[in-house]
Chains A and B, each alone.
Chain A
Amino acid sequence: MELPTPLPVTDLEATARHIRGRLVEMSHRAGVPHLGSSLSCVDMLVAAYWGGLAIDPAAPADPDRDRLILSKGHAATTLYAALACRGYFPEAALEAFAEPGGSLPEHPSPRCAPGVEAATGSLGHGLSIGLGMALAGRLQGRAYRTLVVMSDGECNEGSVWEAAMLAAAQRLERLAVVIDYNKWQATGRSNEVMALSPLREKWTAFGWEACEIDGHDVAALVARLRRVPDGSGRPVAIVAHTVKGRGVSFMEDDNNWHYRTPSAAELAQARAELGLV
């Protein structure tokens, strides 16, 4: 499967604003938290689905597609909204998010929607699964890449570093992670709860080709994702500096929005700030 021609940055940014509006709506309507975590990873998913990865919403099971696993499953709304906007399923389905009996739970369940590659919600699982997919691709002689989107708090989990060591030993150059480094985890600063910093250096030390990037610079993210594999022979770690709650002024870098859900007035204000009214 071929990489698509990248869209103009202004289009990508408009898509990201549209998705952010969706996330605030979904959190408000369903009363579901983790909005701050969802907002911080919008741009990396836009970059992946709109230019960074070789995917086709009309062929979600194509064996040669690039894979994206949202390992930070608590940001499920970002995944659902991105897939819907990209055309994997109708955007109207987002209105049933978290509805009893509906197919879109608060954390993605197996095969819950086209484009969802793995069920997540328990942290530290996605990279191992992605590693298995990357190995499978190598065994089958396929050229697809596997991208795992993780949170910084998720790097607390020991299994992440088990996977990091095995991926490096296996020289899985078609495996990449983007870490949504928003500096917060559920109840505190991610550099204080555990010694996460220096994060890029950790990945480098674990044998990965690691870089730091502005996690809200969609064009830069697209460009970096398109350069996987990058010739280093190593798996790629993109440490993406982000702001939790990005795009809504009163949510930015305020960890109360890990658990709070927006009122109707807050939804209206957020939509206005995003230029969606």
Chain B
Amino acid sequence: MRNAFASELTALAAEDPRLVLLSGDIGNKLFDPFRAAHPERFLNCGVAEANMVGVAAGLALSGFRPITYTIASFATLRCFEQIRVDVCYHQLPVIIVGVGAGLSYAANGATHHACEDLACLRALPYMTVVAPGDAWEVRAALREAIALGGPVYLRLGKKGEATVHREVPPLVIGRGLTIRTGEDVCLLSTGTMLPAVLAAADRLAPLGVSASVVSHHTIKPLDEALLADAFDRYALVVTVEEHSLIGGLGSAVAEWLADRPAPRARLLRLGTADTFLHHAGGQDYARGCFGLTEDQIAARVLDARQVGAKDRVLH
């Protein structure tokens, strides 16, 4: 995802002289093409995220479209108040890009995990929160975020993830992308979980469970039309995210659901637990700790369906 981001941004900057890239001293070599093409519009702000966000606000107040880039946990939480005051309060067109969504950098330890960023950022007024599902979605989301002209948090994975699309999809911020249509359950994936969720749907098919898969890339604003349809049409709607169950997509959907008349579908939320991981291990291992591997997702969907079936018999 990060390579797609860097290459898309380099191309877009050639067309749009307002784009300025601010880096928090990461992206060694990643931005060499950007720097070669637009040296004056790349600024390494050092290991100083709070200042970087304020600088972005000052640039935006002067007509530029700045993009801040660093590891997701630092890009959001370290400088949360600068994002709140300098960017959101002023309603400025600043794109905060966090790389290493969720457990992408699991091996680095919990300092580098980003499982609370969605919760924090979506609480901010005027903020749009987008977590693309693959590298192609990243390209589309970046274009859309620039066109939006307000504060956006763009949450990226790392590099080399499996892709789902074969070209830039018709991604619209605030509208889920339906990847596959099924009959029984609706799997709402956000961000980096998308390939695993599709694989889980593949596991479920031979077991007689037909699953829709949606890349619900925008956490804020929610695609309310899509949700309304899903909760009416299916027996089970499942949110899957590499993020805490406190405050992410599952929370956002649950909040939305709580204010509606009784829906047909039951909601199952899959995400990370309210704990830090203290031991070593990469992304696959960490996902396994939280029940987020493709096998675990399929098994938990099956379990939820069986519980639902039992409920119906009892009634």
Q: How far is the CA of A137 from the CA of B43 in the complex (A)?
A: 15
Select which of B48, B50, B55, B90 is within 8 A of A135 by beta carbon. B55
Contact B62 A140 (CB under 8 A): yes
Q: How far is the CA of A275 from the CA of B260 in the complex (A)?
A: 65
Closest 9 CB pairs of A and B: A132-B58, A128-B54, A136-B62, A162-B51, A162-B48, A132-B55, A129-B58, A159-B50, A132-B59
Size of interface on B: residues with Cβ below 8 Å to A:
30
Q: How far is the CA of A267 from the CA of B57 in the complex (A)?
A: 39
Contact A133 B62 (CB under 8 A): yes
A194, chain B: closest CB distance, angstroms: 18
Contact A128 B41 (CB under 8 A): no
B34, chain A: closest CB distance, angstroms: 15
Residue from A128, A132, A137 having most chain B Cβ neighbours under 10 A: A132
Which candidate, B79-87, B152-160, B279-287, is the interface stretch facing chain A?
B79-87
**Which residues of A sit under 8 angstroms from B59, Cβ to Cβ?**
132-133, 135-136
Q: How far is the CA of A109 from the CA of B20 in the complex (A)?
A: 26
**Which residues of A sit under 8 angstroms from B64, Cβ to Cβ?**
136, 139
Q: How far is the CA of A139 from the CA of B54 in the complex (A)?
A: 17
- Is B311 interfacial (CB 8 A cutoff)? no
Interface string of A54-81 (1 = CB under 8 A from B): 0000000001000000000000000000
Contact A136 B50 (CB under 8 A): no
A sample of 13 more A-B contacts (CB under 8 A), given A118-B58, A133-B62, is: A117-B61, A118-B86, A125-B54, A128-B51, A128-B52, A129-B54, A132-B61, A135-B59, A140-B62, A158-B50, A159-B48, A159-B51, A163-B48
Q: How far is the CA of A128 from the CA of B50 in the complex (A)?
A: 8
Contact A125 B85 (CB under 8 A): yes
Contact B89 A128 (CB under 8 A): no
Q: How far is the CA of A120 from the CA of B152 in the complex (A)?
A: 21
Contact B58 A136 (CB under 8 A): yes
Contact A135 B51 (CB under 8 A): no
**Which residues of B sit under 8 angstroms from A169, Cβ to Cβ?**
46
**Which residues of A sit under 8 angstroms from B66, Cβ to Cβ?**
132
Q: Which residue of A lies closest to B60 (CB)?
A: A132
- Is A122 interfacial (CB 8 A cutoff)? yes
List residues of A (93-131) whose CB comes within 8 Å of B's CBs: 109-110, 117-119, 121-122, 124-125, 127-131
- Is B53 interfacial (CB 8 A cutoff)? yes
Contact A163 B54 (CB under 8 A): yes
Contact A136 B85 (CB under 8 A): no
Interface of B is mostly: helix
Contact B45 A132 (CB under 8 A): no
A122, chain B: closest CB distance, angstroms: 5
A253, chain B: closest CB distance, angstroms: 31
In the complex, 23 of the A-B residue pairs with CB atoms within 8 angstroms, ordered by the A residue number, are: A109-B89, A110-B90, A118-B58, A124-B50, A128-B55, A128-B86, A132-B60, A132-B66, A135-B43, A136-B61, A136-B64, A137-B62, A139-B20, A140-B62, A140-B63, A159-B50, A159-B54, A159-B82, A165-B46, A165-B48, A166-B46, A169-B46, A170-B43
Q: Which residue of B lies closest to A120 (CB)?
A: B85
Residue from B43, B62, B91 having most chain A Cβ neighbours under 10 A: B62
Select which of A129, A134, A165 is within 8 A of B57 by beta carbon. A129
Size of interface on A: residues with Cβ below 8 Å to B:
31
- Whether A135 contacts B58 in the complex (CB less than 8 A), given A128-B50, A162-B50, comes out as yes
List residues of B (6-58) whose CB comes within 8 Å of A's CBs: 20, 40-41, 43, 45-46, 48, 50-58
Contact A110 B41 (CB under 8 A): no
Q: How far is the CA of A125 from the CA of B82 in the complex (A)?
A: 7
B246, chain A: closest CB distance, angstroms: 25
Contact A118 B90 (CB under 8 A): yes
Contact A139 B48 (CB under 8 A): no
Q: Which residue of A lies closest to B49 (CB)?
A: A162
Residue from B20, B59, B81, B91 having most chain A Cβ neighbours under 10 A: B59
Q: How far is the CA of A110 from the CA of B87 in the complex (A)?
A: 11
Q: Which residue of B lies closest to A127 (CB)?
A: B54
Contact A136 B54 (CB under 8 A): no
Q: Which residue of A lies closest to B51 (CB)?
A: A162
Q: How far is the CA of A162 from the CA of B54 in the complex (A)?
A: 11
**Which residues of B sit under 8 angstroms from A158, Cβ to Cβ?**
50
Q: Which residue of A lies closest to B92 (CB)?
A: A110
B51, chain A: closest CB distance, angstroms: 4
Q: Which residue of A lies closest to B50 (CB)?
A: A159
Contact B63 A132 (CB under 8 A): no
B78, chain A: closest CB distance, angstroms: 11
**Which residues of B sit under 8 angstroms from A163, Cβ to Cβ?**
48, 51, 54-55
Q: How far is the CA of A162 from the CA of B64 in the complex (A)?
A: 22
**Which residues of A sit under 8 angstroms from B89, Cβ to Cβ?**
109-110, 119
- Whether A139 contacts B41 in the complex (CB less than 8 A), given A163-B51, A166-B55, comes out as yes
**Which residues of A sit under 8 angstroms from B51, Cβ to Cβ?**
128, 131, 159, 162-163, 166
